[in-house]
Structure 1
Amino acid sequence: MSRFWIALGAGFGLLTVGISAWAAHAAFAADPARAHLIRQALDMQGLHAGALLATGLLAERRAGRVAHLAGGAIAAGVILFCGALYVLALTGTSLGRVAPTGGVLLMLGWLLLILAAIRR
């Protein structure tokens, strides 16, 4: 399962680079509000790609469910938070509580990662 978090983190990183390249040339790049939303989503996605890599490495070193729960929370948080920002930037449609829910999951993932790191 630890390889899954590493692969997912690498996949999120790959998508971050690809979406960044696409966004630099997209027609909406001239719209500052939409471009800002895309940048926010890319920043969070890229940061949490690294967090998933660290989660996979930690899970590999220490058997335990807490690291895997952290990975699940971070992965779900990226999908919900970043996904909601992408949808808002591209369509103008707010998904309501989806982004805040994703943000809470990201914070939970970091908390669980802390717990996994200090557990013996």
Structure 2
Amino acid sequence: MSLTLHSVTNASTPAAEGVWLRASTAVNAKGYAVIDRTFNGDGTPSNEFRHIYLFPDVVIGKDEWIRLVTGTGTYQKAKPDKNGQVVHLFYWGSGTCVWNDKGGDTAALIQYTTVNTKPVPTEPK
């Protein structure tokens, strides 16, 4: 996989909270998503995702970083820092924190392909 989940920063505000990913090769972020996995009472994974972020069509260069900030903002590609590191800043757009401050959450990076779509009709009257 060209993108890997590096770490999660848990914080008390959405602006400070975020997920860090790194590209091992040049890759388009489209088709990747970060999810907040939930678990059933017996500890087995549930089929429910409380939060999901789908990355847009943006090319990430080899060894570049992604920071997915929980809060609001506009995508930006930060200029290289003193070490030459490039960080792409994406924003989940949430007004509240995603990650449980008591622990127990699991962040997962998934790669997906849309097979097909169908519009959902309005409810009959």
Give the TM-score range, shorter chain: under 0.3
Higher strand share: 2
Structure label with greater radius of gyration:
2
TM-score normalised to the size of structure 1? 0.23
Higher helix share: 1
TM-score normalised to the size of structure 2? 0.23
